[in-house]
Amino acid sequence: MSIIKREKIVKLLSETELNRSVLVKGWVRTIRNSKKFSFIELNDGSTISNIQIIADHEVLSVDILKELSTGACIGIQGMLVPSEGKNQKVEIQASTIEVYGLADPESYPLQKKGHTLEFLREIAHLRVRTNTFGAIFRIRHGMAFAIHQFFHQKGFFYVHTPIITGSDTEGAGELFLVTTLPIHNPPKDEKGNINFKEDFFGKQTHLTVSGQLNGELAALGLAEIYTFGPTFRAEKSNTPRHLAEFWMIEPEMAFYDLNDNINLAEELLKYLTQYALNHHQKDLEFLNEHYDKELIARLESIVQTPFVRLSYTNAIEILLNSGKKFEFPVAWGVDLQSEHERYLVEEHFNKPVILTDYPKDIKAFYMKLNDDEKTVRAMDVLFPKIGEIIGGSQREEDYAKLLKRIRELNLPEEEYWWYLDTRKFGTAPHSGFGLGFERLMLFVTGMSNVRDVIPFPRTTKNAEF
RNA sequence: GCUUCCUUAGCUCAGUCGGUUAGAGCAACUGACUGUUAAUCAGUAGGUCCUUGGUUCGAGCCCAAGAGGGAGCGCCA
C-alpha cells in the first residue's frame, strides 16, 4: 500500500482531479456500520474537516472494520471519487486498510459528543484530537509564523535571549530558582545562608521573566530586533489570563520613540488578526459557531478600527467624569484596576485603547522619564475582554537619569553594570514592548482561558503532561 | 495570596424535608435497520455519591478539615 504517497486530507477535500488512487492516514472520528458498507470519518489534523471513507464489506474485511472505533489510527488506500452523499463533495472508496492502532472504546475518553473544556484539560494529551483543539493549535502555529513573517518583512532580526538569567532583572513577578545544589543539604556560607558560589553557575540563577533587557542590548547594535520565547513567572496567580510558563514576543527598536512604538504595536496586532482571517477561515468559523458568536465580526472590526490613544491623565479624567461607582476609587497616581480598564475599553470607547504616559511610580525603572518628571513614556494596549495584551515603553537612554532611578528604587546597581554600559557607550533612543502570546491567542480564538490556547499549560499545582 | 461556587455512572447533569433498592440523557455493549452524516430503533450493562472525621436510629443531602476544579480580585503578559 505504500507504493503511493500519503496525501493530506486538507488537500484532497478541495481536489478537482478525481477518480484517482490516493492514500490517507489519520484518526477515526466516527464510524457508522451498515450491512453493506461502513462509513468512516477520518481526520489527519491538516484541517478541521474529516474525509469520508466508504468501506464496502465485499472489499474490506468486516472483522477488521468491526474493531475500529473513535480514536483508532488507520491508513486507507482507495479511489478519490465524487460523493453520493449530501454533506461532502468528495469521498474515498477504500480498497485497502492498514490499522496502526486501535482505541478501546470502553476506556478511550473522547466521544463523538462534545466535552467540556475543563474535562479536556484533564486529558491534554488527547485533546489535540478534538475539533476545538485542532483548530486552536493550527491557529497558534499560524500566529507564530505570522509574527516571524511580520518582523522579517520589516527587517527585524530574531534574537534568542537566555532562558536562564543571572540576575533578578526586571522585578516582574516572582522567579523560579535554577540550581543544581542538593536541596536537602545545600552548602552554606559563613553567615549560614545558602552558598550559591558553589552552584552550577557560581551565582544564583533563575528562569527568565522577560527577554527585554537582553533584547535592548541586541537592539543597540542590530537596531531592530525581536524575541519570541518562553517566560516564567512563579506568581501563584490563579486566573484565566495567567500561566507560570507563557510565550512572549518582545520587539526592541533603536531610534523608535514612543509614538513609533505604538504604531508598530497597532500594526502588528492588525496584521496578525488579518492573517488569522485570511489563513484560518474554517477553524475560525468553527470557533465562531461553538464558542463565540461574535468572534469573526470582532476580528474584522479590529482590523478596520483605529485604536484609541489616550494619556493616563486623560483616562483618569474620563473615569472621574464617568459618574460610575468603582470598587477602587479613581485618583491621579493610582494604578488602573481591571474595572477601570474595562470601563474604558468596553463601555466608554468600545474599541482597543492604548494608554500612555503613566505616573513613574507605578511603572518599571527603565522607562523614559517625561519632561514633567512625573510620568514616563509607557504604553499599555488594552483589548476588550482580555485587558492588557501589550505593555511597553520608550526606554530611558540617559545614563545619569537611569542610574538615578535605579538608586531611587534601591535596585542592586552592580547587577545592572552591563545594562548601564549601553547608556555609557553610544546610547541611543529606543523603545520596545511585550506581547503576551497566549493573550493574543485568546483574542484570536475567542477562547476565555489561556489554559486552552497552549498545548500543555503550566500553572500552580499543575505540571502534568 | 484573598473571596466565592462546584465535585453523584466514561461524559453532562437531576436527586424533594435527612428515610426503603441513587436516576436521566449521551457514550459503551448486544441486536435490528439504513448511501449513512454527532444516523435511527430496541435491549443490556455500568456507582468508593472526591477523601477523612463528626452529628444522627438513619447521611448523596447537615457540620468540620483536606484534595481537586471553575469564576472574581490582586499582580501582570
Domains and their CATH numbers in chain A: 9-101 (2.40.50.140), 129-173+209-452 (3.30.930.10)
- DSSP code, position A160: -
Q: Which amino acid is at A182?
A: P
Q: Is the CB of A58 under 7 A from strand B?
A: no
**How far apart are alpha carbons A367 and A392 in whole angstroms?**
9
Q: How confident is the model at residue A220 (pLDDT cuts 50, 70, 90)?
A: very high
Angle at A146 between CA A142 and CA A148, to 5 degrees: 125
Confirm whether the ipTM is greater than 0.85.
yes
CA of A113 to C1' of B23 (A): 21
In the numeric block, which cell numbers belong to residue A77?
Answer: 488506500
| Dist CA A299 CA A270 (whole Å) | 9
* Strand B bases contacted by the protein (CB, 7 Å): 1-3, 10-13, 26-29, 33-39, 68-77
pLDDT at A285: 95
In this complex, the answer to whether residue A113 has its CB under 7 A from any atom of chain B, a nucleic strand, is yes
Q: Give the distance, in angstroms, between the CA of residue A45 and the centroid of all CA atoms in the same chain.
A: 20
Residue A150 has pLDDT above 70, yes or no: yes
Q: Interhelix angle for A281-290 vs A131-153, to 10°?
A: 130
Q: Which residues 290-329 of chain A have a CB under 7 Å from nucleic chain B? A: 328
- The residue lying closest to nucleotide B37, measuring its CA against C1', is A87
> pLDDT tens digits, residue range A360-409?
999 999 999 999 999 999 999 999 888 999 999 999 999 999 999 999 98
A333 touches strand B (CB under 7 A): no
Tell me the CA–C1' distance in angstroms for A57 and B46.
32
What does the mean pLDDT of chain A come to? 93
pLDDT of residue A169: 58
Which residues numbered 72-91 in chain A sit less than 7 A from strand B, measured from CB?
83-88, 91
Buried b / exposed e over A118-137, threshold 16 CB at 10 Å, is eebbeebeebebbbbbbbbb
State the average pLDDT over residues A52-80: 92
Closest residue to B27 measured CA to C1′: A111
Backbone angles phi, psi at A82, to 5 degrees: -65, 140
Strand B contact at CB of residue A229, distance < 7 A: no
Owner of C-alpha cell 501589550: A390
Contact call for residues A254 and A223 (beta carbons, < 8 A): yes
For the sheet containing A205-207, what is the strand order? A164-165, A205-207, A177-178
Q: What is the pLDDT of residue A385?
A: 85
**Nucleic strand B near CB of residue A52 (< 7 Å):** yes
* Nearest residue by alpha-carbon distance to C1' of B35: A85
Answer for A363: CB within 7 Å of strand B: no
Residue A272 phi, psi dihedral angles, 5° rounding: -65, -40
pLDDT at A269: 97
Spell out which residues of A between 209 and 228 contact strand B, using CB within 7 Å. 210
> Between A417-424 and A212-222, two packed helices, what is the crossing angle to 10 degrees?
30
A172 pLDDT above the threshold of 70: no
Mode of pairing for the β-strands spanning A387-394 and A375-383: antiparallel
Indicate the pTM of the whole model: 0.95
CA distance A390 to A269: 10
Does residue A274 lie within 7 Å of nucleic acid chain B, judged by its CB?
Answer: no
The pLDDT value given to residue A173: 66
Q: Is the pLDDT of residue A16 over 90?
A: no
Which one is predicted more confidently, A7 or A107?
Answer: A7
User: Which residues 423-442 on A are within 7 A of strand B at the CB atom?
Assistant: 434-436, 438-439
Is the CB of A111 less than 7 A from some atom of nucleic acid strand B?
yes
Lowest-pLDDT range of A41-50, A250-259, A322-331, A448-457: A322-331
A238 CB less than 7 Å from any atom of strand B:
yes
Phi, psi of A299 (to 5 degrees): -60, -45
CA-to-C1' distance for A90 and B31, Å? 32
Q: Which helix (H) or strand (E) holds A408?
A: helix A399-408
A240 in contact with nucleic chain B (CB within 7 A)? yes
On the question of pLDDT at A2 being above 80, the answer is no
Judge if the beta carbon of A29 is closer than 7 A to nucleic acid strand B. Answer: no
Rounded, the Å distance between the CA of A33 and C1' of B31 is: 13
List the beta bridge partners of residue A459: A462
Q: Residue A358 CB closer than 7 angstroms to strand B?
A: no
Q: What pLDDT does residue A215 have? A: 96
Q: What is the mean pLDDT of residues A55-60?
A: 90
How big is the CA angle at A230 (ends A241 and A164), to the nearest 5 degrees? 130
Q: Which residue has the higher pLDDT, A386 or A218?
A: A218
Q: Taking a C-beta distance cutoff of 8 angstroms, is the pair A353, A382 a contact?
A: yes
The amino acid that residue A295 corresponds to is L
Q: Is the pLDDT of residue A103 over 80?
A: yes
The reply to whether the CB atom of residue A339 sits less than 7 A from any atom in nucleic acid chain B is: yes
